[in-house]
Chain A
């Protein structure tokens, strides 16, 4: 029986050997096959160490994934949230002509473009709200519906300029209109004229004042006013009467304003409908130049133009955004930290096992293993552990990012001042590109290779004599202090010392490894805080803050005043410092701009960053200054309510 089982084993061995000989890596692989076998068995015999190494590689990949996938997911998420606010377009230009359209079209980095036009007001007889007696009709090319985040409630989007979809808000207010109804209307624009002598009427929320005798065009969001003494509102018809058919109802658009004079309606924009129109476009951010803003300002000339900063701030490499610079620097920094930490960790783990390894490798060497074969043992171990760790670490990293984003979500409410109702609609979705995966794989493979090379080099120096006489152990034993209680039996004592030494070394290695991870965590957490602090320090060290007029004459005073109304919060910050030279005043919000009067340590990032942050929260900031008297900043935060 025994004999038979013996033969069976030989049969198995024969099989493996045969398989081996057909290996795709040829004779070199066959030569190493036995090394791999031995290494694999060695790994199985030392499960704890193998798992430690595996976890080291796993966590390294996990952290890398957190950096890259986390970055893309966060940016994608913020972009999505941002687009919920204003839509997915990047830049809009208003009242452009065909010539300018061609000019924009020829830009290489414009990805998509769509035209739209404002047709103007029309009487809406079905309205039940006396302050909203009109429809304001916009004409869109198909992409605009998506870009402006319009969602159909029923019906379909218009296919020609005779079809319209109407905002749900009209129905909410009780308007008697339904799909299939037709509306007769004649488009008009509105203007305002001051009619009372000596009186200037101011509309603070529309940023508009009208003097006596003056006539101004009204923006589309201007409210409806009854006839009165101070001013008169006139219509100017732009075309003949037409008949529109209602083909759908859309959810109330985010940009519709409750106090505007009319409900919003949309028809289809077709070429040549009007001589001036608006264009919205999305950019290919990879190709977009750094001076994007200036370039567009040049084309637009004196036309009105809008940058969708909610989306642009988080897109690609638009170098205009300080946010992006910070994001990029942070991910580069974290990658380096993680790589360094992982190298220390994995190198240590490979090194801990040096003694055990040198035993079997010395034995292999004594029966004729070459240096290359010894090294390939370490590489084999690294590769065998790396390949399962890669997908697992990646998956784990994605899980961490998802969890982190879900936890982070509430803070976005405050950062972007977006209502929870909108945020709830944007689910966190993990985003990554194939380049990200490739990058993570390459970087982590490099890290593992780097941390395996040194131990491998060291190991290939192990000669056969190291194990023939068991020298490695002998040398180490001498250094070990002897625990007294264990001196009874010689053999027992030796065994105990051996395992004690092993335990100690292992504990040391583990301690080192956990230290490394603590460092990573601390750096990651404090990194974000650091940046926040940096910004606030720059604000604080400008001088003592004050909220009253006292001591205004002594230098280094700052006064803050605030007022709040239903539509905005206005803050002014005034100092009595050196002031800003008039030629600098126009540039202070540009990144890295240093004016004449700026202090030595100024790097020119505080104000641009402030502006970015204020703009992200739908606010404006501008400055007035007089040399040697002081500077005053005006910040206006609109409390626009969406939904």
Chain B
């Protein structure tokens, strides 16, 4: 079953001489429960693509369908509500509110929705992220890796249908990074959560079901590594 599809996505930054074509006519679709990794050199447009898929940025051209909804045609407020309920975004630069502590930051999208926090869920997530001793700390009192883990916890808390992660392991050491990725994978498998993950780490990229290579705003390779639900493909380049 298809959960996400994008058609002819283009993104142009700026105007005139200084304009950048960050994305050029990108189309692909993702099945429910699929784990897709996106790789590519720096500045190739990975983050831009992810932000457009997550609904926080608007494409210059093209459409994004999530569960059949064309998200960029939604009104701003509708889109905000859609995002906080359906999509979990892990940002490259964390985006934690400096005045809220760890617990509050994690529960924020939920609280914005006017719902009560589920304490068992919160405890579980905090424990699995290894943040138990930092719950009442402010982001400024945390290391980069800890902040990254808070932003992952925030994205996971809501059990979103789609999880979009922008270099979630960029600031973590190898072991912690591997742990986090296995956690995301676990969540992906048990909850049938769709996971799209940007990484520079080839090991992580190869753990996905499918790998997209982006260069200069274009998809240069789209490889299936595993069949959905197990079994391994041979690479055919």
Scan residues 129-158 of chain B and give those whose CB is less than 8 A from a CB of chain A: 132-136, 154
Given contacts A13-B104, A17-B116, A365-B80, contact A468 B51 (CB under 8 A): yes
Contact of A470 with B93 at beta-carbon distance under 8 Å, contacts A14-B117, A38-B99 already known: yes
Contacts of B35 in A (CB 8 A): none
Instruction: Give the CA-CA distance A470 to B93 in the complex, in Å.
Output: 9
Contacting residue for A367 out of B95, B116, B132, CB 8 A? B95
**In the assembly, what is the distance between CA of A35 and CA of B80, in Å?**
15
| Contact across chains for A370 and B81 when beta carbons are under 8 A apart | yes
Taking residues whose C-beta sits less than 8 angstroms from the other chain, chain B's interface range is 35 or more
Min CB gap A479→B, angstroms: 16
Q: Which residues of A contact B134 (CB under 8 A)?
A: 6
Residue pair A467, B132 in contact (C-beta under 8 Å)? no
**Secondary structure of the B contact surface, majority rule:** helix
Distance in angstroms between the alpha carbons of A41 and B138 in the assembled complex: 12
Q: Which of B23-31, B83-91, B189-197, B212-220 contacts A (4 or more CB under 8 A)?
A: B83-91
CB distance from A43 to the nearest CB of B (A): 9
**Chain B interface: which of A26-34, A150-158, A505-513, A577-585?**
A26-34
Chain B CB within 8 A of A371 CB: yes
Known: A13-B103, A468-B95. A366 touches B81 (CB 8 A): no
A21 interface contact, C-beta 8 A: yes
Chain B positions within 8 Å of A138 at CB level: none
Instruction: Flag if B97 contacts A10 (CB, 8 Å).
Output: no
Which of A10, A35, A37, A470 is in CB contact (< 8 Å) with B123? Answer: A10
A492 to chain B, nearest CB (A): 19
Confirm or deny: B181 has a beta carbon within 8 angstroms of a beta carbon on chain A. no
Interchain nearest-CB distance for A63 vs B (Å)? 33
Q: For B105, give the chain A residue with the smallest CB separation.
A: A367
Q: Which parts of B215-234 form the interface with A (CB within 8 Å)? A: none
B112 at the interface (CB under 8 A from A): yes
Among A21, A360, A366, A468, which residue has its beta carbon within 8 angstroms of that of B98?
A: A360
- Does A283 interact with chain B (Cβ within 8 Å)? no
Given contacts A3-B132, A3-B133, A368-B84, contact A9 B95 (CB under 8 A): no
Say yes or no: A360-B97 contact (C-beta < 8 A), given A3-B133, A368-B83, A370-B76.
yes
A457 CB within 8 Å of chain B: no
Hey, which chain A residues are within 8 Å of B104, CB to CB?
A: 13, 34, 37
CA distance A366 to B112 in the complex (A): 12
Chain B 100-120 interface mask (CB, 8 Å, partner A; 1/0): 110110011101111011010
B204 within 8 A of A: no
Which residue from chain A places its CB closest to the CB of B76 in the assembled complex? Answer: A371
Nearest chain A residue, comparing its CB with the CB of B155: A367
**Is the Cβ of B135 less than 8 Å from the Cβ of A9?**
yes
> Is the Cβ of A367 less than 8 Å from the Cβ of B109?
yes
Interchain CB contact under 8 A, A370 and B77 = yes
Q: How far is the CA of A220 from the CA of B125 in the complex (A)?
A: 100
| CB of A469 closer than 8 Å to a CB of B | yes
* B119 lies within 8 A of A10 (CB): yes
A369 CB contacts on chain B under 8 angstroms = 80, 112
Neighbour of B103 across the interface among A10, A30, A371, CB < 8 A: A10
Residue of A nearest to B89 (CB): A366
Q: For residue A460, which residue of chain B has the nearest CB?
A: B76
Q: Is A42 on the interface with B (CB-CB < 8 A)?
A: yes
Taken together as a complex, chains A and B put the C-alpha atoms of A470 and B109 apart, in Å, by: 21
The minimal Cβ–Cβ distance linking A357 to chain B, given in whole angstroms, is 12
Residues of A at under 8 Å CB distance from B? 2-3, 5-6, 9-10, 13-14, 17-18, 21, 27-28, 30-31, 33-35, 37-38, 41-42, 44-45, 360, 363-373, 463-465, 467-470
24 contacts between A and B (CB under 8 A): A6-B132, A10-B122, A14-B117, A28-B114, A38-B99, A38-B100, A41-B100, A360-B97, A363-B95, A363-B97, A365-B80, A366-B89, A367-B84, A367-B109, A368-B81, A368-B84, A368-B109, A369-B80, A370-B80, A371-B77, A464-B57, A465-B57, A468-B51, A468-B95
